[in-house]
Structure 1
Amino acid sequence: MPPEARPIEPKTDRGATMVDHADLIFTGGRVHTVNAANDIAEAVAVGGGRILAVGSNAAVRPLAGPGTRVVELRGRSLLPGLIDAHAHFAGLGAAMAAIDCKAPGMQSIRALQEAVRRRAAELPPGTWIRGRGYDQSRLAERRHPTRDDWDAVAPHHPVIFTRTCGHICSVNSLAMTLAGVDDATPDPPGGRYERADGRNLGVAYETAQAPLQQAAALSPAEYREALLRADRAYLAAGATSVHDAGGLTGPAFGPCQELVGAGELHVRLYAFVTVNSRQHPLLGLLPSGVRTGFGDDRLRLGAFKVITDGSSSGPTAATRAPYTSNPADCGILYWQQEELDELIGRAHRAGWQCTVHAVGDRAIEQTLDAMAHAQHEAPRQGLRHRIEHCGICPPDLQARVAAQGVIPVMQPAFFWEFGDGYIRNYGRERADTMFPVRSLLARGVPVAGSSDAPVTDHRPLFGVQQTLTRVTMDGDVCGPQERVDLTAALRLYTVNAAYAAFEEDRKGSIEPGKLADLVMLAEDITCVPAERLRDVAVLMTVVGGEVVYEA
């Protein structure tokens, strides 16, 4: 039997106020509260932007008043608003306007060239042509496109194509000129250019991308449109909060703040400050006195993030042992240990939540060492330092993650697109230890789930599905022993993700007093086969008690 309704107390510590009647009531459904007991209720009442009551139909219906909207769930699922704990919000919106390299028929350099040729014919010379999402391992030519490929079809337009991982880009000669990059440009620390006989081919890895991506940066108007596109996409997918892991704090922040102030952005944003070098301009925030938590429930400053290695699929992740696919390669590590110790230590002492992009086991070990050093030198209470990705994480590192109280923010969704490459590049044994959700949960670690969009599909239900299946595009499975059940998977994308942002008292579960962030699905999710979860339709998304999306 569902629990009796638990009406909200007036003037609670969550800032609730007395509400005579509900603004919105959901009844007759499967309400996944995601509370400590994972209770399933029948009905929910919402008022004043908060959850008023959760319980049985009989207990909740009396809260209806003359103006209350009552939604009959008819046995369908109502979930807490889903949270993407690591994504690139502006980047997703920008990718939606770029040439889509994952679209059907785009799996060859020739097809990408034709798309560039068509766009060049539509745009004035000098206009940037952007593409996103290619994967050289799935292109017919099995290589990265080079400057020569783009020069052949768009010599008068700067061209930049960003690989699906976001850690590698390919540009034409005009783009290189605008960025001040030529054959003589040296490889920077933590990056490199692809070359042939001393000639720069226009393929940039990791930090070598920086001048090229800066030259191709969006205008304020383009950022505004990108943010609005991302907002619409996430709401349609049932996501009500996103932890922006890089790209928002910087040039996009002004347009974002304006849109939030105007009430035009509805997704709640937890915005990281992300750096990848000692010269990064955002390092200036560390001595400013500003730190994690500044802002409000719509737009809040998040973690201080350091990028320390490459991507899982590049592959450029920093590994302890050489790649299976290339015994001469162990990936790219951005920092020496003492450098990372110093940087994390500065942010830790300044009161920031610290997080590090660490994919390979060597990078994860380096990160854990740096965080342990920072805590030893300047002990703090209530730490919720994070590791973004925490990809190749064998048992010895799992034990350290648990012992240090670090929150891993993982992307099981990666297995679909990149799992076959993981097996090929890292070998079966390492691929099976990637994103070890079940093992970490068993150690009491509150793993958070995420997409890293636009790296892969932004829909949280896609991530939930992949957390259950860990299936690859070619039908293999990475680490079947790390699969979890639906209840555990939902917690990754709700209350665990809220915990990773110090927000579990306000969101992440359907409980009285919490923010009324909800998503209504077209089906009872418990009756949907795992392989179909990604396609369960979202019928309604509610943020702060306001219906912001309705199918």
Structure 2
Amino acid sequence: MVGSGRPPATLMNSANRQIDCQGYTLIPGFNDAHCHILATISKFVSVDCSPETVSSIHEIAIRLQNHANQFPVDTWIRGIGFNEFYLKEHRTPTKWDLDHALPNHPVKLLHQSGHAVVLNSRALDIIQLSKESVDPPYGVIDRDQNTGEPTGVLFDMDNHLNQVIPTLSSNELELGASIFNQECIRMGITSLQDATPTNFSDRWSLFKDFKVRSILNPSIVLMSDAEHFELAQEERFKFNDTDSTLRLGPVKIIAGMTTGTLYPSYNELKCKVAEIHKQGLQVAIHAIEPETIEAASHAISQAIFPNNATEFRHRIEHCSECSSGLIDDLAQIGVTVVTQPGFLYFNGHRYLEEIPSQRQLSLYRFNSMEVSNIQIGFGSDSPVIPINPLIGIYAAVTRRTSSGKFIGLPESLSAESALKAYTLGSARAVFDEGIRGSIAIGKIADMALLDADPTNCEPEKIKSISNLMTICGGKVVWEQ
């Protein structure tokens, strides 16, 4: 119930729980508008190789070796979260770095970004990837410059690898999902939007089972990619044909520059966006670089002409590096931007060292987007960075990195705007603002109780705020 004063006597009975918030801050539940649920689940049952855990390639190999010693030969060993920027060697590990420690166990080591993996020689043998193998469309097999031998480093090859590397076991999935759920509800996250481009009926069935068995409390919106969108149409797999706690949402398209040129080509991108738009469905385009953002913007503009995209809520995911001209274009066509402020905190130190100072001014331009009336939703991109929304809000407000340095201060948001982006803005990004994103009569009771008000405290204190209670769908699912 939403209201003021003392609750009506008719509601004061043993069937209802009355909660005294004791002056703490009640907010709408956080809505992570861009995460990868299964990848995050996998993180919790894989070997942690993140910068917080390892500082060298040798340490990665030892951690993987210690884990492998618990399992029979040829059991797949999964590591996750390495980032070469923070390693002593300042380079990506190769198969040769892993082979000595793990000669008999196939290893899949996932980069923190999720866009690169390292396989050891045993893994390459099992999936039959050799010197003669051809790079798949839009993917890159890294090779020794002198011999042409694969180094074990593979870029943007998920679609291929998912077909040849075994998935997690049922027990691993359930364990990882339970840990992930506790992380979400502990942080006050009541809604998730899964941006994984390989979502389809098998993933749908898995998450539906998790929801039925209350393993995952937050509501979930699943994206699907262009290929699965076509299959879904053929199989008459109904979009949005379920209750509000699990449904399908935008169709995901990956656009990138991994191969050095835009993929898919602009004409391919334009045709795919137009096809999805004609079906009356929402599109979400992964676009990080200026070239991909420009192509995505133009493709959406062509698809909706002569209309504005505001009605359709077509999205650009990330929108990491954006010129003023691109912001004007996005505003003119009414695109929704879903981005990740937490990257400034967790990756800002690397941005400051690797990106030229002039280009740094184009990173994550939240304020410019708000001034231009671009609708913004916030997410984490977990497991790329931790799924903590208060760190994201802190970064959007302060523009401060984990090392204490500032990046792009003119693009700061107010705490009110940042909180709105992580609640109502994210809900709006999937047409859910009528049922979620704010505390109002008639809306689903998704709420979090914080020990301080992020909109009325010193900005530096935002990242230290604790969640005291999480309510999903009117039920208390977590309390301190």
Q: TM-score, normalised by structure 1?
A: 0.82
> 1:232 is aligned with what amino acid?
Q
1:237-278 Cα offsets, whole Å, 9 max, x none, are 100000000155354322211121233321100000035xxx
- 1:293: how far off? 3.0
Shift of residue 468, structure 1, vs aligned partner:
0.8
Mapped to 1, the partners of 2:9 and 2:360 lie a distance apart of: 53
Distance of 2:8 and 2:356 partners within structure 1: 56
Alignment partner, residue 249 of structure 1: 200
- Shift, 1:200, TM fit: 0.2
Distance apart, 1:383 and its partner CA:
0.8
CA distance in 1, matches of 2:181, 2:378: 19
> CA offset at residue 202 of structure 1?
0.3
Question: How far did 1:514 drift?
Answer: 0.4
Task: Kindly indicate whether the alpha-carbon contact (under 8 Å) linking 1:80 and 1:510 is maintained by their aligned counterparts in 2.
Answer: yes
From 504, 509, 521, the equivalent of 2:438 is 509
* 1:394-417 deviations in Å (ceiling 9; x for gaps): 111111111111100010100122
Alpha-carbon distance, 1:213 to partner: 4.1
Conservation of the 8 A alpha-carbon contact between 2:322 and 2:364: yes
Q: Distance in 2 between matches of 1:472 and 1:157?
A: 38
Which of 336, 340, 344 aligns to 1:411? It is 340
Confirm or deny: 8 A CA contact 2:309 2:333 kept in the other structure. Answer: no
Matched, 1:305 2:252: yes
Counterpart of 2:210 in structure 1 is 259
Q: CA deviation at 1:452?
A: 0.3
**Cα displacement (A) at 1:286:** 4.2
2:172 partner SS: helix
Aligned residue for 2:69, secondary structure, equals helix
Are 1:422 and 2:351 counterparts?
yes
Provide the C-alpha distance between the structure 2 equivalents of 1:397 and 1:289, rounded to a whole number of angstroms: 37
- Please state whether the residue corresponding to 1:69 is helix, strand or coil: coil
Tell me if the contact between 2:308 and 2:333 (Cα under 8 Å) persists in the aligned partners.
Answer: no
Give the whole-Å Cα distance in 1 for the aligned partners of 2:52 and 2:269: 42
Give the distance between the partners of 1:360 and 1:59, measured in 2 at CA: 53
Instruction: Tell me which amino acid in the other structure corresponds to 1:496.
Output: G
Q: Residue 112 of structure 2 contacts residue 383 of structure 2 at CA under 8 Å; is this kept in 1?
A: yes
Is the Cα contact below 8 Å between 1:190 and 1:333 reproduced in 2? no
Picking from 190, 202, 205, the partner of 1:240 is: 190
Q: List aligned pairs for 1:105-120, cutoff 5 A.
A: 105-120=53-68
Aligned AA (2:469): M
Alpha-carbon distance between aligned partners in 1 of 2:2 and 2:467, rounded to the nearest angstrom: 23
Cα separation, partners in 2 of 1:380 and 1:255, compared to 1, 3 Å: same
Aligned equivalents of 1:139, 1:331: Cα separation in 2: 25
Alignment of 1:320-335 (within 5 A): 331=260, 333-335=262-264
Query: In structure 2, what is the equivalent of residue 469 of structure 1?
Result: 398
Structure 2 residue runs of 5 or longer lacking an equivalent are none
Distance of 1:527 and 1:346 partners within structure 2? 46
Mapped partners of 1:77, 1:62: distance in 2: 25
Equivalent residue for 1:533, pick from 459, 462, 477: 462
Cα deviations by residue, 1:76-129 (Å, 9 ceiling, x for unpaired): 111101100000011111111111122644111111111011011111112111
Q: Is the aligned partner of 1:484 residue 2:413?
A: yes
- Answer whether contact 2:310 2:333 (CA < 8 A) is retained: no
2:12 alignment counterpart: 65
Opposite residue 88 of structure 2, the aligned amino acid is: A
CA contact (8 A) 2:320 2:363 kept: yes
Q: Which residue of 2 aligns with 1:172?
A: 120
CA-to-aligned-CA distance 1:177-207 (integer Å, 9 cap, x gap): 222211211222322122112110000112x
Give the drift of 1:457.
1.3
| Contact in 2 for aligned 1:87/1:242 (Cα 8 Å) | yes
Query: Within 5 A, what are the aligned runs for 1:23-62?
Result: 52-55=1-4, 58-60=5-7
Which residue number corresponds to residue 316 of structure 2?
387
Letter of the structure 2 residue corresponding to residue 513 of structure 1: G
Q: CA RMSD in A?
A: 2.2
SS at match of 1:391: coil
Q: Deviations along 1:409-463, whole A, 9 cap, x unmatched?
A: 0101001222233334431222222121111111111200110000001011111
Amino acid at match of 1:225: L
How far apart are the structure 2 equivalents of 1:75 and 1:380? 41
Where do 5+ consecutive residues of structure 1 fail to align? 1-51, 311-315, 317-329
Task: Give TM-score, length-normalised by structure 2.
Answer: 0.93
| Number of aligned residues | 475
1:430 counterpart SS class = helix
CA spacing shift, 1:216–1:290, aligned 2, 3 Å: closer
- Note the C-alpha offset of 1:333: 2.7
Give the corresponding residue for 2:288: 359
Where 2:206 maps in the other structure, the secondary structure is: helix
Preserved CA contact (<8 Å) 1:223 1:252: no
Q: Deviations over 1:489-515 (max 9, x none)?
A: 100011111000100000100001100
Q: What are the within-5 Å matches in structure 2 for residues 136-155 of structure 1?
A: 136-155=84-103
Contact kept? 1:286, 1:347, Cα under 8 Å: no
Note the alpha carbon deviations across 1:3-55, whole angstroms, 9 max, x for none.
Answer: xxxxxxxxxxxxxxxxxxxxxxxxxxxxxxxxxxxxxxxxxxxxxxxxx2233
1:199 is matched with which residue: 132, 145, 149?
149
The residue number in structure 1 matching 2:173 is 223
Please give the alpha-carbon distance, in whole angstroms, between the structure 2 residues aligned to 1:217 and 1:178: 15
Separation in 2, partners of 1:228, 1:332: 40
Moved more, 218-227 or 471-480: 218-227
Q: Which of 449, 470, 477 is matched with 2:378 structurally?
A: 449
Deviation at 1:222, TM superposition (A): 3.1
Aligned in 2, Cα 1:464/1:249: closer, same or farther, shift over 3 Å? farther
Against the structure 1 CA distance between its residues 464 and 442, is the aligned structure 2 distance closer, same or farther, given a 3 Å change threshold?
Answer: same
Distance 1:305 1:542 in 2: 30
SS at match of 2:350: helix
Further displaced range: 67-76 or 220-229 = 220-229
Q: Hey, what's the Cα distance between the residues in 1 that align with 2:348 and 2:333?
A: 28
Q: Secondary structure at the match of 1:503?
A: coil
Distance 2:77 2:443 in 1: 44
* C-alpha contact (below 8 Å) 2:301/2:309 kept by paired residues: no
